[in-house]
Amino acid sequence: MAVPEKRFLYLRNVRRISQAFFLLLFLVLLLQTNIDSLDRADTLPRISAPVDFFLEIDPLVAISTVLSTHTLYRNLILAVILIVGTLFLGRFFCGWVCPMGTINHMLAVLKSARMKGRRRLEQNSWKPYQRWKYGILAAMLGSALFGSVQIGLLDPIALLTRSSALVILPGYNTLTQDLYAWSLQPHAGFGDFLLTPVSWVTHALLIRAKAVVFDQTFLILLIFAGILIANRFITRFWCRGLCPLGALLGVMSKTSVLGLEKRATLCTDCNLCALHCQGGDNPKPGDTWHQTECHLCMNCVASCAESGIAFRFFPGQEESTQEVNLTRRAVVASAGAGLLAIPVLRAATHPDRPGDPSLVRPPGSLHEKEFLSRCIRCGECMNVCPNNALHPTLTQAGSEGIWTPMLMPRIGYCEPTCVLCSQVCPTGAIDEITEREKAWVPQAGKEKTEGPPIRIGTAFYDTGRCLPYAMARECIVCEEWCPTTPKSIYFEETEIETRDGEYLYLKRPHVDPELCVGCGACTYACPIKGSPAIYVTAVGETRNPRNRILLKEKNHMPS
């Protein structure tokens, strides 16, 4: 290639450094979404790293939650940085910052027969499918207008966070856990002195002390894998054709003052600029440049030996620049489809009505209707949960609420003093609460909690499975694990006659519905494998005054 010698800090290299930095930052923050401090006995573990950084600078998250809630939660204000930057500079985020873009970029530049020469040049020129993303954006914003945030399904940051936290990290964790367990095994008398250093290495590779599983994540994996594999056919197909954040930034980039200046007189028609174009925006002099598609990756400038193109502030030849060529009709139709989809979905499951009884939301969650107007399904709450208690729904919250968090106490219970999910939730679907507000356990030096607890559900016995009821055996593990003070599980001492005619005294447990907070520790610890003998449903949850059984509940928050 006739590329002249360039300084190392040429723009394309600076872009590469920036991409590597932000991808690494994304990974570090993902791993930091976890408590690891053992230092302070007097304080509760808190997440100290700004783990929501990428979600919080994401203007799509900010704008869609503003449309659905008319407010901007906490740090989502950071999105204005990116909005202002894009209004002046264009889609630099896509080419320089976005970790999803960087992953797609890395896969798209892999060489293959399909991605060479004329075929590469052809598929790197602007194509009509690049308009799809604007339709997706319009539909998503339409849903948000109706009060349902669906943007998280396809917002690249939410999608990448979810896919990494629920599929990639757990997969890595399983691999390293197995390796570590293998290196710790006694290997028949030999190799201990060899395997001990090996176990140091395998231990260093661990990211969690325990196995982590997530229910129903196959679909998440399939979508993520599809997006990555698409790069083998079309360079950054996701970024060009589907990404709604790219579309939003594309629309904003229309005011950008940074543009491509083409000098047709210098062009030798070598096509190198178009061959390496990431955005599919036709950088070659003579072709119509699509500013809204350009990621500012600087490949075109770097590959031009003749300096026939350059990025300039207030560039000269603006007549060669193409607007987003969308018809008003298409945009209105897409937005309308998104808007109408929500009432159609709500004809099946409406957030005003209690839906699936097993849909126990994390503590601090807003009323279901408001919850769905905020939750972007990023999976941060599930990633941070120390007990692996939160899992993505599939159907439990209706199709509208797919991949929103729910408690699965058979896998993990809600840790009584933990409020981490409410801390990391970027949009306030789980409103930030303190341990004192959660009020499941008395504060330091106190005999009682200071107010009524934040309840997430109520436990019920299945006496057909519970040992002291059904099998004439001692148990009451549930009572042992019940964290409230006093315990929500009490028992009556009952004399029972066994099959052999002997008389036994057994403790038969009961739930006090005025004390139970729905944490699910009883379900988690219940020794009855298969279906547990005690299970939790959402009834009694603080967030929904209509989802109640008892006429008067003395230990309830005013609603």
Among 90, 416, 457, 520, binds other proteins (CB under 8 A): 416
Q: Does 122 bind other proteins (CB under 8 A)?
A: no
Segment contacting other proteins (CB under 8 A): 2-10, 180-188, 230-238, 423-431? 180-188
Query: At a CB cut-off of 8 Å and minimum separation 6, what does 1 contact?
Result: 272, 303
Identity of the residue, 221 or 528, whose beta carbon is nearer to other proteins in the bound complex: 528
Among 325, 399, 417, 531, binds other proteins (CB under 8 A): 417
Q: Does 516 bind other proteins (CB under 8 A)?
A: no
Burial-class residue 130 by CB neighbours within 10 Å (0-12, 13-18, 19+): buried
Among 159, 160, 375, 476, binds other proteins (CB under 8 A): 476
Among 39, 323, 495, 500, binds other proteins (CB under 8 A): 39
Letter string b/e over residues 449-476, b meaning 16 or more CB atoms within 10 A of that residue's CB: beebbbbbbbbbbeeebbbbbeeeeebb
Among 17, 36, 305, 348, binds other proteins (CB under 8 A): 36
Segment contacting other proteins (CB under 8 A): 30-38, 163-171, 216-224, 360-368? 30-38
We find the least distance from the C-beta atom of residue 528 to other proteins, in angstroms, to be: 9
Q: Does 463 bind other proteins (CB under 8 A)?
A: no
Q: Does 121 bind other proteins (CB under 8 A)?
A: no
Read off the tokens for 88.
């002046």
Q: Does 418 bind other proteins (CB under 8 A)?
A: yes
DSSP state of 465: T
Q: Pattern of binders to other proteins over 329-368, x per CB under 8 A?
A: ----------------------------------------
Amino acid at 472: A
Identity of the residue, 378 or 477, whose beta carbon is nearer to other proteins in the bound complex: 477
Is-contact 299 124, C-beta < 8 A? no
Could you give the CA distance from residue 64 to residue 427 in angstroms, rounded to a whole number? 10
Q: Does 211 bind other proteins (CB under 8 A)?
A: yes
Could you give the CA distance from residue 302 to residue 527 in angstroms, rounded to a whole number? 65
Could you give the CA distance from residue 54 to residue 157 in angstroms, rounded to a whole number? 7
We find the least distance from the C-beta atom of residue 54 to other proteins, in angstroms, to be: 26
Could you give the CA distance from residue 204 to residue 183 in angstroms, rounded to a whole number? 12
Read off the tokens for 328.
């008003």
Q: Does 447 bind other proteins (CB under 8 A)?
A: yes
Could you give the CA distance from residue 67 to residue 146 in angstroms, rounded to a whole number? 8
**Beta-bridge mates of residue 460:** 535
Write out the DSSP string of 135-180.
Answer: HHHHHHHHHHHTT---GGGT-HHHHHHHHIIIIIHHHHHHHHHHHH
We find the least distance from the C-beta atom of residue 511 to other proteins, in angstroms, to be: 15
Q: Does 444 bind other proteins (CB under 8 A)?
A: yes
Q: Pattern of binders to other proteins over 527-556, x per CB under 8 A?
A: x-x---------------------------
- Name the residues that contact other proteins, by CB under 8 A: 35-41, 44-45, 177, 180-181, 184-185, 206, 209-211, 386-387, 415-418, 441-442, 444-448, 467, 473-477, 479-487, 491, 507, 525-527, 529
